[in-house]
Amino acid sequence: MAMMRLRREDPRVVGSFRLHRRLGAGGMGVVYLGSDRRGQRVALKVIRPDLAEDQEFRSRFAREVSAARRIRGGCTARLVAADLEAERPWFATQYVPGPSLHDKVAEEGPLSAAEVAAVGSALSEGLVAVHEAGVVHRDLKPSNILLSPKGPRIIDFGIAWATGASTLTHVGTAVGSPGFLAPEQVRGAAVTPATDVFSLGATLAYAAMGDSPFGHGSSEVMLYRVVHETAQLRGVPDALAPLLSACLAKDPEERPSTLQLSLRLKEIAAREAHGLTDTRAPAPRRESDRPSVGRSAEERTESQAHRRASGSGTTGAQRASGARVGQRPPAQRNTTRPGRRPAPRSGAGRPASRTTGTGRRVPANPRLLRQRLVVFVVVTLLVALGIAAAQGCQGPAQGFGGAGSPRSAEVGGAVAAVKSQAVTAGSSPTATRPGRSTEKLALKTTPPPAERR
């Protein structure tokens, strides 16, 4: 708030307060910056000398002080002291540091949508407390809104009126500011809380556009526009335009209540503040894009298979459409991760059984049977060689040994026969008959006739 030096005609002391600077002047009087004996700063308002002689105006001033005492909450400047019987009645309120809304917009330009919504939400919430006290401000405008560090404050209840009181019309007395008055004020109709809603809507439109919603002109032109023309909100952000348009309705019944206005502005302020920090909405994350921490191996495998299937045409899409979260992936899918060796399955080494669409089992491949027979013969050969080696070691003690003995020759012949049988079995399918193979593989275990006793 701009401060000016005291003029020669200005008092230096009022009540127990010492005056330091001029804060402003209006239709009712002058506002000074003062302080008490403890150094507490106050805004002290003294009415004009010509109005002080009017008993009717004194009564009106007394009602203003009474209204200020009834209002609770931090939306207004707290009343500190008053003297209604002084030669020039005065009252002092808590000093609110900070510029007015008018000065801030004039110096820095229009506010953002989030800022307008935040200021409007606090002001409408403050008006709820004002109206609950039975008071209508009647002169809400940008210069009567102070932007303190603790939030906006409503000041200057100079023409405030108690609900239900008769309207006073006085020549030369300000009844409001053109461009921010409600139509019912211009017509001289009764004022209600909806009157302040209209003025608040015009004030917020000014904060958003940097100009009055009814333009500029003489007082008569401005008052005519307020009553007969639609408010111009072309510079108001889209998030606020519908709500402010409702506040500026000509019919008081069509305007939202202060409580509805406060709740709606809080929603807009929260949404717009979030939009300022993150203007782009985050894209929805797919199941496959989520971190793999905490997910099972089956879910990760299915997720990879789904990504492969989604890029492989119609067939891949059909395979992916059958996958469900939590199910084991089909056997034909590659369930190993790149760079890792696949773990052996419990059924490795055995031919996979196949089943037809009718449920009938198909016999195994004959080639696989021959391979299995070769393995069996080789194992048998190794066992026979082991037995022969063991008997050869015991030969000298039992009369069976000697590299050139008939017994050794007989065993060597048997081994040669087994090798021949293995080769024959691997090349001919008929070698798989158990009767013939048993006869050819039989060994003569009786000693030769020359060694019989």
- Which residues carry a binding-site annotation for ATP? 45
Which has the closest alpha carbon to 199: 144, 117, 254?
144
Treating both helix axes as pointing N-terminal to C-terminal, what angle do 406-427 and 366-398 enclose, rounded to 10 degrees? Answer: 180
CA-to-CA distance for 235 and 201, rounded, in angstroms?
14
323: which residues sit within 8 A by CB, 6+ positions away?
A: 302, 305, 306, 309, 329
Catalytic site includes residue 139: yes
Instruction: Return the SS3 of 216.
Output: coil
Q: Which conformational region is residue 156 in: left (phi greater than 0), alpha (psi within -120 to 50 degrees), or beta?
A: left
Contact 200, 120 (CB under 8 A): yes
Selection from 349, 397, 352, 410 nearest residue 375 by Cα = 349
Q: Which of 269, 230, 249 is nearest to 124 (CA)?
A: 269
Cβ contacts of residue 390 below 8 Å, gap of 6+? none
**Could you tell me which of 148, 143, 145, 33 has the C-alpha nearest to residue 96?**
148
123, 195, 136, 144: which is closest to 163 by C-alpha? 136
What whole-number distance in Å separates Cα of residue 10 and Cα of residue 20?
10
C-alpha closest to that of 231 among 255, 208, 248: 248
| Distance, CA of 443 to CA of 420 (rounded, Å) | 14
Which of 50, 103, 139, 196 is labelled catalytic?
139
Residues in CB range of 253: below 8 A, 6 or more apart:
194
Q: Are 208 and 110 in contact (CB under 8 A)?
A: yes
Binding-site annotation: residue ranges: 45
d(CA 374, CA 379): 9
Catalytic residue set: 139
